Amino acid sequence: MDFPEQLPKEVRKASYPCDICQKSFSLKSSLINHKIVHRGEKPFQCDTCDKSFSRLQTLINHKHIHTGERPYGCDICSKSFTLKSHLEDHKHTHTGEKPYQCDICGKSFTAKRTLTAHSRIHTGEKAHNCDICDKSFTQKSDLEDHKRTHTGEEPYQCDICDKSFSRIQALVTHKHIHKREKSSKTYGKSLTVRSLLEDHKHIPTGEKPYQCDICGESFSAKRTLTGHRRKHTGEKAHKCDICGKSFSRTDHLITHKRIHTGERPYGCDIC
């Protein structure tokens, strides 16, 4: 008699149910590994940072963080990933497929983790807690940015002037000060950032393609939506390194800093 482990995959049945959550497995070994999660056991420990995991495969994936290894490569654009699931989600950006749908509002996403983060908007869940001040955030990236306000860490350094920043987007915006690229002109204004040009084009058409998923208000510029959402959260993530004043939006900080520098980067070719 053949045991389930010896049968071809196509004829195996979910023969081993978990008596705790009723999930079923085709292999007894899979059930045994699954039950470790319920018991809270984490027998697999990273020998680099001592973090522990309940599954061996999770430990293997975790170790890629330390080694920098990205074994899963996209055969379309050659971008690489540490996790196979991240590669699979990435491929949806090429196909346009959005298989993960919110069962509350119907919005769809290319990645499961993006849907998970989005769902917290509906539930109000803030799963990522600051262990210094107990402030909570819906997204892990927001928590990481926030924690730098406590540590003063500025890991993103400009390779032109060596100035450092706590957020990568702040560095990207800063670099445009050096570039001074005013190659895109439309409706009488010179703009240094391509995204600003695209958003600027929405002004005369009245188009507002960026909608707040909390209150439904729409905006012509993505950066305006980003700033608007902080009204809901109360977050002021952007701090002036000259006078210490804080702002909820990057563009407000940039505008504020011109008080110190006297900079006037945008010129109208009419007036």
CA 245, CA 231: separation in Å to the nearest integer?
A: 17
> What is the pLDDT confidence band of residue 182, given thresholds at 50, 70 and 90?
very low
Position 137 scores a pLDDT of 82
pTM score: 0.40
Position 257 scores a pLDDT of 78
Mean pLDDT of 190-196: 52
Higher pLDDT, 122 or 8: 122
Higher pLDDT, 179 or 58: 58
Q: Specify if 112 maps to a domain.
A: no
Q: Specify if 213 maps to a domain.
A: yes
Last residue of a domain, one of 67, 85, 108: 67
Report residue 60 as tokens: 């293997």
- Domain of residue 232 covers 206-263
Report residue 55 as tokens: 């599954």
pLDDT digits (tens, 9 = 90+) for 21-74: 878 888 888 888 888 878 888 888 898 887 888 888 888 888 888 888 888 899
State percent of the chain over pLDDT 70: 79
Q: Specify if 169 maps to a domain.
A: no
CA 185, CA 188: separation in Å to the nearest integer?
A: 7
* Total of domains in the chain: 2
Q: Specify if 218 maps to a domain.
A: yes
Checking if the pLDDT of 222 tops 60, the result is yes
Last residue of a domain, one of 50, 67, 84: 67
Q: Specify if 55 maps to a domain.
A: yes
> What is the pLDDT confidence band of residue 268, given thresholds at 50, 70 and 90?
low
Last residue of a domain, one of 67, 95, 127: 67
Checking if the pLDDT of 86 tops 80, the result is yes
Position 1 scores a pLDDT of 42
Mean pLDDT of 90-113: 89
Position 191 scores a pLDDT of 46
Checking if the pLDDT of 181 tops 50, the result is no
Mean pLDDT of 209-231: 78
Q: Specify if 256 maps to a domain.
A: yes
Position 255 scores a pLDDT of 79
CA 199, CA 61: separation in Å to the nearest integer?
A: 39
Mean model confidence pLDDT for the chain: 77
Specify the CATH number for the domain of residue 215.
Answer: 3.30.160.60
Position 74 scores a pLDDT of 92
Q: Specify if 246 maps to a domain.
A: yes
Checking if the pLDDT of 271 tops 70, the result is no
